[in-house]
Structure 1
Amino acid sequence: MPHRVASFFRSSNDSINNIKAQVQRRRSPNSRSPAGTPRPGSTRTVSYASSVDDEGEEQAPTQAGHAAPPVRMPETAKEKDGIHHHRLSFPGLHLGGHKSKDQAHQHPNASLDWKIESPPAVMYGDTENSTGALVSGQLQLAVREAPFEVESFEARLNIHVIRKRPYKDHCHDCANQVTELKSWKFLAEPTALTKRLHEFPFSTLLEGHLPASTDNSVVTVRYDFTAEVRPKTGPVLKLSKTINVKRALTVPEMPHHSVRIFPPTNITASVHYPNVIHPIGSNKLELRLEGIVKSNPDVKTVEYWKLKRLSWKIEEHLNTVSPACKKHCPKTETGESANKGLKRTEARTIGSGDLSSGWKSDYTPNGNVEMELEYQVNPGNKAVCDMKSNDGTEVTHQLVVEMVVAQEYAPINQPKHVTPTGVARILRMHFGTVVTERGGLGVSWDNEAPPIYQDVPPSPPSYLCEIPYEEVDGISDLE
């Protein structure tokens, strides 16, 4: 066996030429060597014949022990001209032939689909004041051949939470938590359906305390709608859809005002900014610095704090708790499972900027620095909207503004002769910011509904007339 391996490596450079030569010897009977007599200068090689040659040139032994002549396939026009194309066949490789998930749940006599009739599921307001979102639609079961006998027809709406960093790695139960919100039983008994389109309406109210749909690096929250039709014969019809639930908070008409003081200096920052922003769109921040000039009458000098650079960034903080499943949850002394989980946090920057100019400076005795800053979320970072759920998942944002100020001084009589002192400070400010979806033209579902008068009695009210009927003017004329 070692000498065969050695000969294979020695002949690896000209193996292709040997393959072509051996194929030509197969096709030309005049150049075929006697059995058991190798041609001079030839080496043992492995030939990969084409699939046509494998089928047509396979030699079967006869009774006399001689090989039967090979069966030649009809030559094409290119082979007649001396051009031969050899196709390599790989018996162990199979391409295609796999059914998709949609094809696996198809039925030859029926199909299942849905139609949403309600507007997009948007919860208006925070989790404490929101009335939720309505989701309504129809499940459409199209029967192509009657009678179509159905054993049961059910649907359910689940909230599915996927932990990207679960309590225990490679554990399906630790990474997935499914909670059923609503279920429907359209056909609880065996029923024979006719040949037409059957529609089954469904509706539900997603309560306002539920979290919005999200997909980030720590956790994924989605709403899965599944429907299942079990026919008497044939495969089960299944429908799986995802409902995208959003939350929109109202934007205040007036911007938020904040005042910050930076001791030991006398610098005071007055900031007007919107505390509710959107993932797409620009926002404006108004900044005013006061107390940047300080006079020293004893030494007849004036100190200035000059703004050299300003940078801003929007930070996103993700917090969640990955619970342990029943299998990996530790046991207490009484043998019961203790609710235990691991806290997962992650922070990233979804927007940033750096400015070295663009503000107005006034270095008079009551000097100040004013500027308007445009900032926004980078759409390429795919920001996650603020959310908070009962299981400990929370997404928050904050705007961070950093300013670099340098101290300089000058004589009172010669204010143009400014000399740097070499002292610099970094002024940092944090502002809580809420990132939310745009509400658009929609309003909450309870505001769209017509008014309901619950205090009206079943009969119309009675009207009492204090004036006697006979004394009313015009009665005699009417009679």
Structure 2
Amino acid sequence: MADSRTSSFSSASRKEHDDHHQHHRLSFPGMHFGRSTKEPPSFSPAALYWKLESPPLVMYGDHQTSSGTLLSGQLFLNVKEEDLEVASLDATLSIRVTQKRPFANHCVDCTTQRTELKRWELLQHPLVMAKGEHSFPFSVLLEGHLPSSMEGPLVSISYEFKAEAVPRADLSPLAPIKFEKTVDVRRSLPTSEAPHHSVRVFPPTNIKASAYYPHVIHPIGSYVLALRLDGIAKLNTKVNTIEYWKLKKLTWKLEETTRTIAPACERHSPRLGGAAEEQQSKKGVIRSESRIIGEKTLFSGWKSNYTNATDSLVELELDYSLAKNAKYACDSKSRDGTEVTHQLVVEMVVSQEWAPINRPSLVTHTGVGRILRMHFGTILTERAGIGISWDNEAPPIYQDVPPSPPAYSQETIFAEHSIAELMTPLDGAHGGGLSRSSTDVATAGGSGAGARGA
């Protein structure tokens, strides 16, 4: 009896517990978990892609003298269905400037500025297209004052090409077909064959530094700075000693400085009352930051001569380049205030020593040291390669053709004389013989037969 009662109570409580959980069970009929949630990709009736026909976009020269670069290509619309109606097909090329330290944090308009450079309306009206590929050519001249593409610590500049086609069916528009690409625009500055020469004197000492270095360098490659130090020895006649400045340490650095103006959007730009509101300039804050893109420290590797006070010198050839995998931006300057510059900084640590004139090997340290610092302006730019400016390689246009073909000179007009009289005889008259031209003239005169008969 006890076992049967216990089993009946346990089955009843289990049923009540199951009914209670079934009553409070949550149900999500619209949600599916697992692999069944993966929806098939939507079908697009057409696809967009492009093919560039112009060479790599390189601006030759600075922003004041460069003629720019030419971008040309074709935009293809691949129609996958029969008789697809396309309502519009547009393409744009714009420049995007992204401020990494904007005027106002967390403001989209202060962070990103877009400027449209060119817009193409490739379809003037709706058109029904057959199945297959349809090409639409486009071209634009990027003016020389525009900045090159860059990625810096304060700002990034990029060129964006966007195309959009809007198909429709039964007069109702379908999902637009989009195409986006980033265009890389570079700048190459001219280089000089002769190296720059710089001379620096470090008072109160008599040390004079003479340096020869290339003014323009490239991201890939190694360059040499030839340095010579004179006046490193001084004769002290009062105590019969020679004082030396000996080079102990040398450090070179390639520094990159970026300067930009972070503009304020319309919401964060202050408003002025009256007529001053129309004349106010766009407000912004100046940002500047420097970073090292290459450095090295040397404790030896130079030639020194301390034989006497007049011929003492230090000579060295310093090899420098960008660090491996260094993030850099080439020299540039744009109208919006963005500017990137580079310089080579050389620091030398010298210590003072003295020795008797008759015993130069007996050297004594004075404990006096100095740091000699020099700055060399350097331009970092892309290599020009084998390319030239677009205006030099373009064929002549219709306006360059002269108005008419060149006229014949008066000397070649055969109106009064025959061609035989003007030709130079091959067997000229030597020794009284008649030439071929004279025989032809006599025959043409009518008396040639009588002469031959006589």
CA shift in 2, pair 1:229/1:250, >3 Å? same
3-state secondary structure, aligned to 2:122: strand
Q: Does 1:132 align with 2:68?
A: yes
d(CA) in 1 for partners of 2:188 and 2:9? Answer: 84
For residue 365 of structure 2, what is the aligned residue in structure 1? 420
Show structure 2 runs of 5+ residues with no match: 1-6, 23-30, 422-436, 445-454
d(CA) in 1 for partners of 2:379 and 2:73? Answer: 32
Q: Does 1:243 align with 2:183?
A: yes
Show structure 1 runs of 5+ residues with no match: 1-29, 39-57, 62-66, 68-90
Which of residues 433, 444, 448 in structure 1 aligns to 2:393?
448
CA shift in 2, pair 1:37/1:177, >3 Å? closer
Q: Does 1:474 align with 2:410?
A: no
For residue 157 of structure 2, what is the aligned residue in structure 1? 221
Q: Does 1:254 align with 2:197?
A: no
Which of residues 88, 98, 119 in structure 2 aligns to 1:183?
119
1:473 Cα shift?
A: 6.9
Answer whether contact 1:330 1:338 (CA < 8 A) is retained: no
Which of residues 334, 345, 350 in structure 1 aligns to 2:293?
350
Q: Does 1:110 align with 2:53?
A: no
- 1:413-445 Cα deviation digits (max 9, x unpaired): 111111111111110000111111122222221
Answer whether contact 1:159 1:221 (CA < 8 A) is retained: yes
CA shift in 2, pair 1:31/1:163, >3 Å? farther
For residues 14-29 of structure 1, the aligned pairs below 5 Å read none
1:98 Cα shift?
A: 7.6
Which of residues 266, 269, 278 in structure 2 aligns to 1:326?
266
d(CA) in 2 for partners of 1:96 and 1:395? Answer: 53
For residue 238 of structure 2, what is the aligned residue in structure 1? 298
The alignment's TM-score, normalised by the length of structure 1, stands at: 0.77
d(CA) in 2 for partners of 1:300 and 1:383? Answer: 53
1:297 Cα shift?
A: 2.3
d(CA) in 2 for partners of 1:402 and 1:138? Answer: 54
1:298 Cα shift?
A: 3.0
Q: Does 1:171 align with 2:104?
A: no
**What one-letter code is carried by the residue in structure 2 that aligns with 1:361?**
S
For residue 78 of structure 2, what is the aligned residue in structure 1? 142
CA shift in 2, pair 1:201/1:454, >3 Å? closer
- 1:37-56 Cα deviation digits (max 9, x unpaired): 89xxxxxxxxxxxxxxxxxx
- 1:273-315 Cα deviation digits (max 9, x unpaired): 1121122222111111111111122321111110010001111
1:453 Cα shift?
A: 8.3
For residue 3 of structure 1, what is the aligned residue in structure 2? none
- 1:383-420 Cα deviation digits (max 9, x unpaired): 11111110001111111000011111111111111111
CA shift in 2, pair 1:153/1:98, >3 Å? farther
d(CA) in 1 for partners of 2:133 and 2:400? Answer: 42
d(CA) in 2 for partners of 1:393 and 1:262? Answer: 34
**What one-letter code is carried by the residue in structure 1 that aligns with 2:312?**
G
The worse-fitting range, judged by mean Cα deviation, of 440-449 and 191-200 is 440-449
For residue 430 of structure 2, what is the aligned residue in structure 1? none
3-state secondary structure, aligned to 1:128: coil
- 1:290-347 Cα deviation digits (max 9, x unpaired): 1111112232111111001000111111110011111111011324464210111111
1:250 Cα shift?
A: 2.4
- 1:82-118 Cα deviation digits (max 9, x unpaired): xxxxxxxxx8977895889xx6xx7532111111111
3-state secondary structure, aligned to 1:463: coil
d(CA) in 1 for partners of 2:94 and 2:419? Answer: 71
d(CA) in 1 for partners of 2:44 and 2:236? Answer: 93
CA shift in 2, pair 1:119/1:299, >3 Å? same
d(CA) in 2 for partners of 1:281 and 1:160? Answer: 31
**What one-letter code is carried by the residue in structure 2 that aligns with 1:435?**
L
d(CA) in 2 for partners of 1:454 and 1:108? Answer: 46
For residues 377-392 of structure 1, the aligned pairs below 5 Å read 377-392=322-337
For residue 257 of structure 2, what is the aligned residue in structure 1? 317
d(CA) in 1 for partners of 2:86 and 2:110? Answer: 36
Paired residues, what number? 399
1:221 Cα shift?
A: 0.6
d(CA) in 1 for partners of 2:218 and 2:8? Answer: 81
